[in-house]
Amino acid sequence: MDRVSGASEGVRELDEPLRRIASGDRVIEDKDGKRKHDFPLGGRGRSSFEASSRLHELWRRRREMRRGFADRAHPFVHQGQGKPYLHKMFLELSHALLRPQGRLGMIVPGGILGDKGSTELRTLFFERCDWQWLFGFENRAGIFDIHRSFRFCVLIVQKGGETHAMRAAFMHRDAADWQHAERHAMAYPRARVEAFSPRSKAILEIGGARSAHAADHLR
């Protein structure tokens, strides 16, 4: 366990350099609507974005002069803030290893639904994947030999495209419910996530179609 813990701590040191290499020229907007690069190069001042754009363009041209064999979409650049939990690293690494339209399925802790530290992973799955399934469980019946208050979920994601809606269910206690998942699932639109949590993309756990209808009227 010490070796695993040490490896997870090392991700903190690798995360920021890889993030900047992989997506430093991506244009984003701050809360005031001002455009900037996620790794700005233009210093400060009114023309900082234009200066940053020129340097990023120069760097892109230099990169195109050389041939590389590594995937530019490095893993571990979507780990977000907080502790580098192993389930987050496994999810992102699995995504990086998938071919386009490849699918991953995994059982992970319930924190993937709403933890602030999982915001970037949720954004990745919503904006660059087809997030197909999210089936949530409570451990009150002791499905796993962990504390009875813990929550976990099954998720299935297909690499590529974007998510418009996923099939979702929450707060189940019987593992057999997953065998008949379609009976329990409801359509969970991405628009609902962005309406209730536009920044963190937290997923609101809803008990059923009636609760979903009521929640949509609160937006």
pLDDT in tens, 175-188: 999 999 999 999 99
CA distance 122 to 113: 8
Q: Domains of the chain by range and CATH?
A: 2-64 (no CATH), 86-216 (3.40.50.150)
CA distance 126 to 132: 10
DSSP 79: -
Q: How far is CA 129 from CA 9, 42, 205, in A?
A: 28, 32, 21
- 168 sits in which H/E element: strand 165-172
- What pLDDT, on the 0 to 100 scale, is given for residue 149? 95
- What pLDDT, on the 0 to 100 scale, is given for residue 72? 63
pLDDT in tens, 23-81: 467 787 777 778 888 778 877 777 888 888 898 888 888 877 877 665 566 788 899 88
Which candidate, 181, 186, 177, places its Cα nearest to that of 141?
177
